[in-house]
Structures are given as structure tokens and as C-alpha cells.
A and B are shown apart, each in its own frame.
Chain A
Amino acid sequence: MTTPQESPGQRSVTATAAYLRPPRYLVCRRAIGYWTLRAAAGWALVLAVETFGLGAGAAPSGLVGVVLAGTGLVAVAHLVVMPRWRHRVHRWEVTPQAVYSQSGWLNQEKRIAPVSRIQTVDSERRLLQRIFDLTTVTVTTGSAAGPIEINSLDRVVAEQLVAELTQAVQATHGDAT
């Protein structure tokens, strides 16, 4: 790597490796319930399709049983592991300069955008999220590939975050592309 000319903040310019700590805040604990319910709905659909698909065909009933049992096993494992794992991963943090989020479970992703490049701050309450009183906040930038989604915050926290971010965005001018 070519050594950059400018001094990057407080770190020494000769550093060849740096790492990111996870963002500070976890999302709401009720998100586990929401993710479980959402995944359960998906698995229910899969099981229904399998039942009708195999039941209508001339498949031997033994095979149907094995397939359904296998799917059920995978589904239960997924429903137990995924939401809890996800809850440990999903994190967020906002500083006056940056919005920082981490998401995923098996595959994980950290996203960072400068507050000065934020275009809009959207909040959204999906149908299942409303059951758990959760809100997803999405921060969009000028890039179609760059929205930062903070999934499943407590509603009050989300409202504060949106207010804080919109205020910070207004402090910067220009069209931010």
C-alpha cells in the first residue's frame, strides 16, 4: 500500500493495520422476538409449500415425513440461534461526525458514513415490528449502495435518534454528493 501523504487524524501514518471496534449500542432486546417471529413466518411458508407440494404428488409418505422433519429441525435450530446471534451483532453508534452500524450474523457488515454526506433520515415501522413496538431507522446517502439501516430500535430511542441526526444534518450544507 502506498503511504498516504496526509496525516490521518491522530494515528501514525506508518500504520499498516488497523481494526474497527464494534459500535457502542445494542439494538432493542425485543428485536429477538421480532426476528424470531419473522423467520417463523418464513419457515411456516416453506413447510406449507412442502406439505402441499409433496402431498399432492405421488411421493411416498415416508419421504414426506423425512423431508418435513428435516425442515422442522433446521427451522428450529435457525429460530433458536439466528435471533440471539443477530442481537449480539446488530449495533449502532452516532457521533457528531459519523453514523456507524454493524449488522448480520453469519455474514457481518459494518457501515460508516460521514454525517456531512447524509441525505435523508427515514424511520419505518413494519407490520411485525409494530407488535414489538420497534422502529427501523434508515440513513440514506447519495449512493444507492450506501443506506445505513439500524434495524429494530426501541421506538423512543429511534425518535430521539432521528431528531438528533436531522439536526446534525442541517448543520452541514451543500448537496453532499
Chain B
Amino acid sequence: MTAGRDRRHAADPTGAEPAVGGEWRRLSRRMLLVHPVQELVRLAPALIGIVLAGHRNGQGVAWGLAATGVAVLVGALRWFTTTYRVTGDQVQVRRGLLRRRLLVAPLDRVRTVDLSAGALHRVLRLERVTLGTGAAVGAGHEGLRLDALDAAAAARLREELVRRRQAATGTAVMAAPGLDHAVGPQRAAEVTLAAVRPSWLRFGPFTLSGLVAVGVVTGLLSRVTSEAEVDLSRYRPLHAVATHLGAAPLWRAVVEVALAFVVVVALVSTAGYLLAFGGYRLTRHSGGTLHVVRGLIARRAVTIELSRVRGVEISEPMLLRIVGGARCSAVTTGLRTGHDSSDTAAMLLPPAPRADADRVAAAVLGTDRPVTTPLARHGRRARQRRYGRALLPCVLGAVALLPLGRLVAGPAGAWLLGVVAMPFVAVLAWDRYRNLGHAVVGEYLVRSAGSLVRRRTMLSREGIVGWTVRESFFQRRAGLATLTATTAAGAQHYAVPDVELGTAVCVADALLPGLLTPFLLDSPGPR
């Protein structure tokens, strides 16, 4: 029995003889205590909801007890359904009752073995074991995690995995191939690639970073004043403003408030820029790292290993683009994933002149060709699709609102909104098409897209771990496809939208030669 086996091992804490593969092992039996508690905590909001909802018809407690019972049962079941084993060269985890899953990771893909313990775990001497493979773990997907093992068993498992991994891969840990050439000559210990200049402060108002701050502060103030029942009109300046606005005609009041708002947001944004990016410096060190230092008061230093850099992205939010500014960030593996977080984590250059962004990108890549090469346009059908996708919702909205306005009492001119929006979305569509482009430059995939935020991404072929060719129903009709390079770095995927199918496959083939060869055709083939 597995449990007996567990105990035998616990009696031999040296773990001299690693468990030979084949046998399935279970989590610590003390988890029978922890799992139900975890399940209860996780479901607490729902449980409270059930009790409250049932309160009205007097059955709340009964339902609450029943739900609690289910939660406890589900928690206990986890222990029975989760097993794991280490065979010759892989780790396998089985879990799930109704949804049976078998997770398999080859040992040399296991990069890290992390042990962690929460308060409850610590009391019961349990350790949570998380096996870090390079596999990106999405939300709601636990990956290879064993929650939890007896502390001794966990330590033993870690040792076992590390030892076998070393035996399987040899002692040398290969550094990922990357932008080695970008490290440059070894003699210079530190090269400054960019440093903040006072004139960059002019981009401050256009970052809109103050918008959030102003919103939060306004919300907080209104909350506090209403909670504390402070009468704002007693303060003389505010009182003066209120009477002034009350006396003015509506349009003037609106314009004045809007102007004041814009000025405040611009000031706060500029102050935010100064605080966040004052003292900014980007340097390259001979050890093969980039260092980003920034912050006027609170200093923040980020070190980015060049061996983890898979590319560079220049992004231009629309407002910033209008005044000729851009940001630059590194596309790297091993940092937090997702578009927003990676943007800040791998920031190379704060909002600065576009020329500086180009210069930094070229310096990090070691070549300026991906940055300067003009991109291939996507053609007439891609442009039609941009306009179609922008205008169709307006037309449909107007058509749908027209009869609705007759049936339901409401603003009769609601359908006009769709008509009024049309020129704006048309301009957006025009801009979106203008910004659409791609190129293969040496070992880089270069793609550009977006209007509200235009991004030009230069992704090294080393960073591309797969291709997705997506054709929606309408794209198939137009002979277009969206080619997506998936990567372990940065935003995890970079799309070349609405490119001709034949071109898309060509680009993919050129970047990862050989991969597509057995699947290639010269003509579209039968559909």
C-alpha cells in the first residue's frame, strides 16, 4: 500500500535509496485535514452567499451545512485522487475524479523544484512542491504541483529530481542561445545605452499615468467626505467654484470642468513621470546583463539577462505617438507573463523621443536592420477587413436602435450615435491598416499593428516556440489568416493579423526552416 511505503521512507530520512520508478505515491495523509479547510476557504464567499440567500426562506443553515459537507468531501477526495511517481526520466502526476488528468514532464524540462508552506502547512510539517517546467501555466491550471507532501518526503523528492536531472542532462547547464552578439566586446565593463534628459519631461502629460491617480484620489475624497458628512460647500474656495459653475450656462460649465480636469491630469502625469523615471539610466554590463535604474525618490533597479532576451518591442500609445514619443521594452523569458506586467517589468526606455527608442532597440538587438527596415503592407483585402470590422458594428447598432427607439420609451435619437461614431471609427480603421505590417529581417520576425497602442515587435527566431495559423470564417473567404508566433517570452504570443495565407506560411517557413517542410504545398489545395 502506498501509505505504508510512505512511512517506510520517512523512517529512512537520508533517502539514500531513491524510490525506483513505477510505483504511484500519494500526498501526505495529513492533507486530509488541510484540503477540506482550503476548500472551505476557497468557497467561503459562495457558502456565505448560500446561507444569506437561504436565510429568507428559513433554510439557510440547512443549505449551508449541505454545501459545507460537499466542500469538505471534495477537499478530502483530492487526497484520494492525486498520485505521483518518478520513473526513469519523467515525473508523472495523476489527479482529478471526474476530470482525470495525467501530467507528464521529462526530468530535463524540470528547471526548478520549489518547496513552500503556508501557515497551516507549517503547523502540520507539510511542504508544497512546485515543479517549474518551462511550460507556461495559465489561470486555473495548477501545473505540476503537489500540495502537499510530508516535509521529509518533499525534501527527498527534490533531491531525487535534482540528482536524476543532473544524470539525465549532464552537469553542464546549457545557457539558452540568444542575443549573444549583443553582449558586445568584453573589455568595456559598463556601457550606457540611454539616460534620461530633462527635455523628455514634455512627454509626461501624454502618458496619462495621472488619469488613474486623479480617479483614485477623487473617488477616495468623495467617499471620505460623504462618510464623514463633511459639507464641502462650507469651504470658501469650493463654495466660490460651485456658485460660479451654477451661475454659468451648462455648456460653459462643462467646458470649464473638462479643461480643469485635463490640466490636473496633465500636471499629475508629469509629476508621475518625474517620480517614476527621474534618474533613469540603461546600461549594458560585460557580464551579459542590462541594468535599468529609475525613480527620483524610490529607486528601482531591474537586471535583465541578455541570454533571456528574445526580442524588443517599441510601443506608441496614440497620444504619445502624436507628439513623437515612444517606449521601448525587452521581450524576455522568465519574467512575469502577460502584456501589462511584462511591459513594466522589462521596460528598457520610458516615454522618450521615437529616435531614442529606435536607438535603444538597435543597441539591444545588436543590429538596427529590424528597427529600420520598412515593413510589407497587408494589401487591399486586409484594408477592407479593417473598415468592415470598424463600420459594421456602427451600422448594426444604428439599425437595431432605430426600431427599438419606437418600441421602448427612451432617447429617440439613440440610433444617431451609430452614425456619429462612423467617421471616428473610420479614421481608426485607416490608422490601423496603416500601422499593419510585417517583415522577416535576418533572424527576426518584425511585426507592427495597433492604433490606440501601436507596437512594433522584433522577435528573434530563437524565441519562437510554435506557430498558430488562424483563419476565421470571414478571413477564409478573403484568403487571409492571422499568423501568431508563440513564445515563452514577453506577451507569450505575437500576431501578424490579416496577412495573406500564402505569405503567412512563407514567413513561418523562413523563420523556422525545416519545421513546416513536410506539410508544405505550393497551392492552396482543396478546401
Cross-chain contact B505 with A19 (CB below 8 angstroms): yes
Q: Which of A17, A110, A124 contacts B469 (CB under 8 A)?
A: A110
Cross-chain contact B102 with A20 (CB below 8 angstroms): no
| Mask of A74-102 contacts with B, CB within 8 angstroms, 1/0 | 00000000000000000001010110100
The residues of A that contact B99 with a CB separation of less than 8 Å are 124-127
- Which of the candidate stretches A35-43, A54-62, A65-73, A111-119 sits at the interface with the other chain? A111-119
Q: Which of B138, B516, B524 contacts A144 (CB under 8 A)?
A: B138
On chain B, which size bracket covers the interface?
A: 35 or more
Q: Is the interface of B mostly helix, strand, loop or mixed?
A: mixed
Cross-chain contact A97 with B104 (CB below 8 angstroms): no
Cross-chain contact B506 with A177 (CB below 8 angstroms): no
The residues of B that contact A148 with a CB separation of less than 8 Å are 466
Q: Which of B174, B493, B516 contacts A112 (CB under 8 A)?
A: B516
Known: A1-B507, A20-B469, A143-B493. A119 touches B105 (CB 8 A): yes
Q: Nearest CB to that of A163 among chain B residues? A: B104
CA distance A124 to B469 in the complex (A): 25
CA distance A97 to B516 in the complex (A): 9
Q: Nearest CB to that of A18 among chain B residues? A: B505
Cross-chain contact B520 with A170 (CB below 8 angstroms): no
Known: A108-B476, A122-B102, A170-B89. A8 touches B510 (CB 8 A): yes
CA distance A122 to B91 in the complex (A): 12
Cross-chain contact A141 with B465 (CB below 8 angstroms): yes
Cross-chain contact B467 with A174 (CB below 8 angstroms): no
Cross-chain contact A112 with B466 (CB below 8 angstroms): yes
Known: A107-B471, A111-B466, A112-B516. A17 touches B106 (CB 8 A): no
Min Cβ gap B91→A in Å is 9
Min Cβ gap B100→A in Å is 5
The residues of B that contact A11 with a CB separation of less than 8 Å are 509, 517, 520
Cross-chain contact B492 with A145 (CB below 8 angstroms): yes
- In the assembled complex, A53 has its CB within 8 A of some CB on chain B: no
Q: Which of B103, B135, B473 contacts A141 (CB under 8 A)?
A: B135
Min Cβ gap B510→A in Å is 4
Cross-chain contact A114 with B515 (CB below 8 angstroms): yes
Q: Nearest CB to that of A24 among chain B residues? A: B519
Q: Nearest CB to that of A176 among chain B residues? A: B134
CA distance A5 to B367 in the complex (A): 15
Q: Which of B503, B514, B517 contacts A17 (CB under 8 A)?
A: B503
Known: A11-B509, A18-B521, A19-B502. A143 touches B486 (CB 8 A): yes
- Which of the candidate stretches B71-79, B149-157, B387-395, B439-447 sits at the interface with the other chain? B439-447
Cross-chain contact B109 with A169 (CB below 8 angstroms): yes
Cross-chain contact B520 with A20 (CB below 8 angstroms): yes
- In the assembled complex, B356 has its CB within 8 A of some CB on chain A: no
- In the assembled complex, B86 has its CB within 8 A of some CB on chain A: no
CA distance A110 to B482 in the complex (A): 11
Known: A108-B471, A112-B467, A146-B492. A123 touches B520 (CB 8 A): no
Within 8 A of B (CB), among A159-177: 162, 166, 169-170, 173-177
Within 8 A of A (CB), among B141-191: 144, 169, 174, 176
Q: Nearest CB to that of B137 among chain A residues? A: A144
Q: Nearest CB to that of A16 among chain B residues? A: B506
On chain A, which size bracket covers the interface?
A: 35 or more
The residues of B that contact A100 with a CB separation of less than 8 Å are 519
Known: A143-B466, A143-B488, A176-B465. A121 touches B104 (CB 8 A): yes
Cross-chain contact A143 with B487 (CB below 8 angstroms): yes
Min Cβ gap A24→B in Å is 9
The residues of B that contact A112 with a CB separation of less than 8 Å are 466-468, 508, 515-516, 519
Q: Nearest CB to that of B333 among chain A residues? A: A177
The residues of B that contact A121 with a CB separation of less than 8 Å are 104
Cross-chain contact A107 with B470 (CB below 8 angstroms): yes
Within 8 A of B (CB), among A8-34: 8-11, 15-21, 23
The residues of B that contact A162 with a CB separation of less than 8 Å are 102, 104
Cross-chain contact B465 with A177 (CB below 8 angstroms): yes
Known: A6-B513, A8-B510, A9-B513. A175 touches B176 (CB 8 A): yes
CA distance A170 to B90 in the complex (A): 9
- In the assembled complex, B452 has its CB within 8 A of some CB on chain A: no
The residues of A that contact B469 with a CB separation of less than 8 Å are 20, 109-111
CA distance A159 to B484 in the complex (A): 29
Known: A107-B473, A144-B492. A10 touches B517 (CB 8 A): yes
The residues of B that contact A170 with a CB separation of less than 8 Å are 89-90, 106, 108
Q: Nearest CB to that of B487 among chain A residues? A: A143
- In the assembled complex, A63 has its CB within 8 A of some CB on chain B: no
- In the assembled complex, B384 has its CB within 8 A of some CB on chain A: no
19 more CB-based (< 8 A) A-B contacts, given A4-B513, A16-B506, A106-B472: A8-B514, A19-B505, A20-B469, A107-B470, A109-B470, A110-B467, A111-B469, A114-B515, A117-B465, A117-B466, A119-B133, A140-B136, A141-B488, A142-B488, A144-B492, A146-B468, A146-B487, A173-B174, A175-B108
Which 6 interchain pairs have the tightest Cβ spacing?
A17-B502, A142-B488, A146-B486, A144-B136, A145-B493, A113-B466
